[in-house]
Structure 1
């Protein structure tokens, strides 16, 4: 099947649109993004986010994805994108993995109808060989029975989610502990705001996942390096060996 969309083409289309607007409208849209922290409530806001922050967002995600254990990428897996927004984390992942067939299914979880619809379209057009399922709920509302993954390996994406005050972690905890027999890899990527107390939320979440170990940990405040953004990353696994390798547990039970 023909791939109709790439991350580059998504950024290019958004930038072309934003730059075609009057300067006053461009300025208004950028200010309304609150430095990338605002909840996106219109298509113009979504395009403005892509124009101003889309490349930065990709750089952060790729830094995290480079630390996905190589063994995890040797066979097919499912992806759950929590608070998926426009589906950008899943799109970047799909272009990073070694082949387009390796992601069997994407499950997109997002409370915003507008964002979820755009994410569904983005993933359907960019990954025609993968199943795409959507769930319109807030993270804390998700029950384990709401999600049906196709594979026994599950990659969880939490992009610009864990640092948000409304994030509880309850939904993802319910799912991973109900399906603890599966091979779970959790990737959290967020800005790093130690001065606001939000910098602690990533580790608090990681510590709440009993049985999960850190595969990779990274954080830089904007003043700590030569980038014009801050970044906080945690990669967690429930299948980590003493050597730091992720193994596949063969004692699986039926997925319901």
Structure 2
């Protein structure tokens, strides 16, 4: 692992650390009130305290699931399925993060790429999220990772084909926050 990978890895850890410290500093009854508003996969964050609480309470769990997923996909799956577009490519790659929340999956993808020295050039990111507040955070969290970020503040049923147009031949689709939604059929 190189120094730049360590710097990038620290950013996710720092995000969680900052959120955890801020959440822990709140009175217990306020923490419980905020926690009571969080219903993973069934809500749209409406205030900054919800975003902070999500990071403090769930981001590390989300991180672990993503690392397991990326280990599988960028390890065995590409070879088993002979996905040539992702084998030894040096071409730029687009990423679409559906229901991105605060953009944690997009962030972890880049950190995983650097930590494992995979060499993928994830350059373009399309963030899709119905919460304008969470989308704003997603853009901020991913600004240092992607050269081009496009944002769509929208629910899935309002997306058009043009909203999903990418600049590059290869696109990675991240659906980590939407697969459990009751109204999503993949």
Normalising by the residue count of structure 2, what TM-score does the alignment of the two structures yield?
0.80
Look up the match of 1:111. Answer: 130
Distance 1:151 1:4, change over 3 A: same
Number of equivalenced pairs: 167
Equivalents in 2 of 1:133, 1:84: separation in Å?
A: 12
Task: In structure 2, list runs of 5 or more residues that go unmatched.
Answer: none
In 1, are the aligned partners of 2:98 and 2:174 still within 8 Å (CA)? yes
Distance 1:38 1:153, change over 3 A: same
Distance 1:139 1:37, change over 3 A: closer
Q: After the TM superposition, which residues 1-256 of structure 1 pair with which residues of structure 2 at under 5 Å, given as runs? A: 6-34=11-39, 37-68=42-73, 69=78, 72=86, 74-75=88-89, 76-97=92-113, 98=117, 102-125=121-144, 127=145, 129-167=146-184, 205=186
- What secondary structure does 1:6 align onto? helix
Structure with the largest fraction of strand = 1
In 1, are the aligned partners of 2:99 and 2:178 still within 8 Å (CA)? yes
Q: Please tell me the root mean square deviation across aligned C-alpha atoms, in Å.
A: 2.4
State the Cα distance separating 1:39 from its structure 2 match: 2.7
Higher relative contact order structure (alpha carbons within 8 Å, sequence separation ≥ 6):
2
State the Cα distance separating 1:101 from its structure 2 match: 6.2
